[in-house]
Amino acid sequence: MFKFTIVITTYNRLSLLKRAVESALAQTLPCEVIVADDGSSDGTEAYIHSLGDRVVYHRNPVNVGHCATMNAAVKLAQGDWIKPIDDDDYLASNCIEELTKAIARYPQAVLCSTQAIQVNEKGQEVTRTQPINNAPINYVPQSEIHYRMLLEQLPFGTPVQVAFRKDAFVKSGGWDSSFEVNYDDIDSWVKIAQYGDAILVNQHLAYRTLWHQGNHLKFSLQQRLQKHISIKEKIYKFVHPKYRDSLPSLPDIQDFLTLYWSLVGFKQGKFDQALPLLFPALFSRKGWQLLTQVIYARKFYQMSQEDCQEPRPKQMPLFSEI
């Protein structure tokens, strides 16, 4: 039977880290827990040592960044599967148990993703990710993964949603520091997906915190757009040959992403950043078509759900970065 390791990366956020650690130790299916500390100076080390042998502690001698910290922790892990968590996020108590059940059904998988609830700094629910259909578990063969990621049909999001097989992570080369806290996770999922299939568990088993000090907020819209484009370019190269004839062109995908990030900027009131992004993508018929298709697909599913069950909390936007 395979085993899980929960890896929690942290840096100077002790008050939030405690919640993440408590959620890892409270799992209904116990597993190894590693806290990887990127050189904190806020009492993190003393807190972890106070927990005794319930938690494995790794500390970088100097601050080296999120990617290198994750790579070091995975190297130490004894589990066959890794469940990463950022220190400001946390898990439902049955997360590892439910992921284990799903993986046992599809042992050829190398990626497993769950749905997530986004909460504010007080732990109050704000939004939740939207399932792609009503199936409790979705199986995605390796040949489809990159194609569906390219077209935003797979919710492989932030680390708290995703688990990965350790051997596939090692083969993929680990997390790339050139994407530091800006699509470093998505870049990793793209690479890992070369080595096996994927599973989507349609349960909300993870909690992601939205707060004013989120690392992604350090980047401008232009920087985030360029990283997003670079990820799509990487995915494009991995798409299975059987889908090549139906792929949009890379310039059309770039226009689609540019329009999306422009809309994000307008929604956030960042008009000075959003307006320059619009041109020339504003005049791209294919870019608008791709954006409309993706939004319509999500809206159609949401309306079908509202027709057959009680109202749900507000759904997350198409991309988790909004």
Q: pLDDT-derived band of residue 183, with 50, 70 and 90 as boundaries?
A: confident
CA distances from 8 to 20, 39, 59, 61, 179 (A): 8, 14, 12, 17, 19
Which run of H or E residues covers position 202? Answer: strand 197-209
- Least Cα distance to 199 among 102, 84, 91 occurs for 102
Dist. CA 46–CA 34, nearest whole Å: 15
Dist. CA 53–CA 87, nearest whole Å: 19
The sign of the torsion formed by the CA atoms of 309, 311, 313, 318 equals positive
Quick one: average pLDDT of 25-29? 98
Task: Specify the pLDDT at position 215.
Answer: 59
Residue recorded with tokens 């797979």: 154
- Whole-number CA gyration radius for the chain: 19
DSSP bridge partners of 200: 113, 138
Give the three-state DSSP class for 131: coil
Task: Specify the pLDDT at position 321.
Answer: 37
**Phi–psi pair at 307, nearest 5 degrees:** -75, -20
Task: Specify the pLDDT at position 300.
Answer: 45
pLDDT for 308 beyond 60:
no
pLDDT, tens digit (0-9, with 9 covering 90-100), for 164-173: 999 999 999 9
Average pLDDT taken over every residue of the chain: 89
**Phi–psi pair at 248, nearest 5 degrees:** -65, 160
Amino acid at 186: I
Amino acid at 149: M
pLDDT, tens digit (0-9, with 9 covering 90-100), for 250-278: 999 999 999 999 999 999 899 999 999 99
Quick one: average pLDDT of 115-132? 90
- Least Cα distance to 142 among 240, 243, 288 occurs for 240
Dist. CA 106–CA 225, nearest whole Å: 35
Dist. CA 114–CA 160, nearest whole Å: 9
Check: CB of residue 156 under 8 Å from CB of residue 189: yes
Dist. CA 236–CA 248, nearest whole Å: 10
Q: Which domains does the chain have, with CATH numbers?
A: 4-215 (3.90.550.10), 219-308 (no CATH)
Note the pTM of the prediction, 2 decimals: 0.88
pLDDT for 318 beyond 60:
no
pLDDT, tens digit (0-9, with 9 covering 90-100), for 286-302: 999 999 987 776 554 44
Residue recorded with tokens 């494995």: 56
Dist. CA 44–CA 63, nearest whole Å: 14
